[in-house]
Copies of this chain bind each other. A is one copy, B any other.
Amino acid sequence: MTISELADRAALPIATVKYYLRSGVLPGGHATSATRATYDESHLQRLRLIRALVTVGRLRLATVRDIMTAVDDPSRTTHEALGAAHYPPVAGAPEAEPTAVARVDELMVRLGWRVDPQSGDRRVLAGALGASAELGYPVDDEVLEAYAQAAFDVALVDVSLLPGDNRAGAVEMAVIGTVLREPVLVSLRRLAQEHVSAGRFG
């Protein structure tokens, strides 16, 4: 399809599609002449993904490009590409301090979770634990482990949704699922709090 057909199907202005091409976040089309190129379903799919990350995930385009670069790198295994897909930092994460980082390291060992030592989410978790403690509301081990169990239950569902036979598809679904279903989990937690709280205080 032409670039205007692509823009049309993605419900985006052509100028936006051109901007994504220029910034490298959308791969170029198949050149048919010096000034023309055609695009296929993979471009449409990628546009959808970019849009999800930018609008729902509120990621900056530079962050999206970093994720896409990792995803597209053929030297990475599916698992490594998925690691990059999980990398997008949680907005508003405070800086972590050493005791909290050590606590997260210990937790990962105790739970037996295989997680990259460089994973950004370790720092996010350590930052959140450190901030709670500093404000006088430390998260104790029992609470932390209950949270980890719930997170694990959700992750089992998340990973089961990924196709096993299609690397690009698996990575894309992982990115989409991580970003799009985060507000689902967060809002369900608040609704559940209201319900449980009604039983106790209502």
CB distance from A159 to the nearest CB of B (A): 4
Q: Is the CB of A184 within 8 A of B135?
A: no
Q: Is the CB of B91 within 8 A of A92?
A: yes
Q: Is the CB of B82 within 8 A of A197?
A: yes
Q: Is the CB of A147 within 8 A of B157?
A: yes
Give bound CA distance, A88 to B148, whole Å.
24
Segment 152-202 of A: residues with Cβ below 8 Å from B: 152-159, 161-162, 164, 170, 173-174, 176-178, 180-202
Q: Is the CB of B128 within 8 A of A187?
A: yes
In the complex, identify which listed stretch (A16-24, A29-37, A48-56, A60-68) lies at the interface while the others stay far away. Answer: A48-56
Chain B residues whose C-beta falls within 8 Å of the C-beta of A25 in the assembled complex: none
Q: Is the CB of A56 within 8 A of B181?
A: no
Chain B residues whose C-beta falls within 8 Å of the C-beta of A190 in the assembled complex: 86, 90, 121, 124, 178
Give bound CA distance, A184 to B133, whole Å.
13
Chain B residues whose C-beta falls within 8 Å of the C-beta of A108 in the assembled complex: 191
Chain B residues whose C-beta falls within 8 Å of the C-beta of A147 in the assembled complex: 154, 157, 181, 184-185, 188
Given A137-B176, A144-B184: A192 and B151 interface contact (C-beta under 8 Å): yes
Q: Mostly helix, strand, loop or mixed at chain A's interface?
A: helix
Q: Is the CB of B125 within 8 A of A180?
A: no
Chain B residues whose C-beta falls within 8 Å of the C-beta of A83 in the assembled complex: 194, 197
The one of B55, B136, B154, B187 that contacts A146, using a Cβ cutoff of 8 Å: B154
Other 17 A-B pairs with CB < 8 A, given A93-B187, A119-B194, A124-B183: A48-B135, A56-B94, A56-B131, A56-B135, A78-B201, A91-B91, A108-B191, A113-B191, A114-B195, A122-B191, A132-B180, A143-B181, A150-B154, A152-B192, A154-B192, A162-B200, A185-B185
